[in-house]
Structure formats: structure tokens, C-alpha cells
Amino acid sequence: MANILELDHKQARAFLLDGKSYVNFDLPEYFNFDPILQAVSSKMGGYDVNYFFDPEDGGRKKKDPRDRHDVNKVIYGNKDGELAWRPFEIINPVLYVGLVHYITKEDNWSVIKKRFSELRRGCNIEVASIPVQPSKRKARKRSKYVLGGRNLSKTVRLKVLSFDMS
């Protein structure tokens, strides 16, 4: 399995535009975001998130999504089957695709990868929550969460064992 930072910009875009990458919480199997993400991506063509506003104008020529409180969709999920309801927000698919197009431009993706590399150098902090791409057609949920948890547990154990108390 490769984490997203090991992918090139085209692979990262494909990974992020996969419906299973669109939300990071559990939804029933019948939720399939692939058709909407692919349709929006093909309609947007080469446009990215800047399509929605003109940065030179402070974002006022076109409607700036920040001016709207209802641009994303809030759904409520129940954690324990009783009273533990909490809101989850699903980003507007058009904004999501625009953002994915923007960050996965070749130059932008290189900057992101370079910055993560710089932050990792000489640092005792390891990010275990970076999304991973399954090597086979395994369930994305399993590879993203279970493996991440295993990596985190393993990393914590190794760090604890090597910690110098003096």
C-alpha cells in the first residue's frame, strides 16, 4: 500500500476523485459518490477552485462560496444507537472537485510533497493518518483506517520502547 504522498499528481487526483475518498466517515453501502464526482470533474474540465471567484477582485465578481452558509450538506450520524448524535458535513462536490483539481496540478502537488518531506526531516512526529491507497481492490475503508490504526499502534510501541527517560 502506498500513502498518498508516494503517488504522482495524476494518481493522487484519481485517488481523491474516487467516491470512497470523498467522505471520511461510515455511510451505508448504497451511497456511491463516484458518478457525481466523475460528472463534476468532466464538466469542470481544467477548471479548479478559483473558477468560483476572482482572487484579484477579492472573490466578489462571482459568487464566493464563503458567502453562503448552506454550500455543504450536513447529515447526522448516531454513534451508539442512543443519544450520541453528531453532525457530519459533506463538502459540496463541485467545490471538492475544484479543490482536488487545484492541489493535484503537477506544480502544486510537487510543492505539497516537498513540504511534507521537509516537515518529516529531523522530526520526532510521525503522521499516521495520511490516506493510503490499497494495493489491490481491497475495501478502501479497511486499508485507510485499520492499517492506519495498526501503523499508529506499532509506531507508538516502538517510540515508547526507545524513549530515553534521562
Q: What residue ranges do the domains of the chain occupy?
A: 2-63+93-162
What torsion, rounded to 10 degrees, do the Cα atoms 79, 81, 82, 84 define?
Answer: 10
* pLDDT, tens digit, 9 for 90 and up, residues 63-90: 666 677 778 899 888 877 788 888 989 9
pTM: 0.72
Reading the block at residue 118, the C-alpha cell is: 521537509
CA atoms within 13 A of residue 96's CA, in its CB half-sphere = 22
Coil, helix or strand at residue 3 = strand
DSSP result, 129-159: -S-EE-SSS--HHIIIIIHHHHHHHHHHHHH
* pLDDT, tens digit, 9 for 90 and up, residues 117-157: 888 887 777 777 788 877 665 554 444 444 445 555 666 66
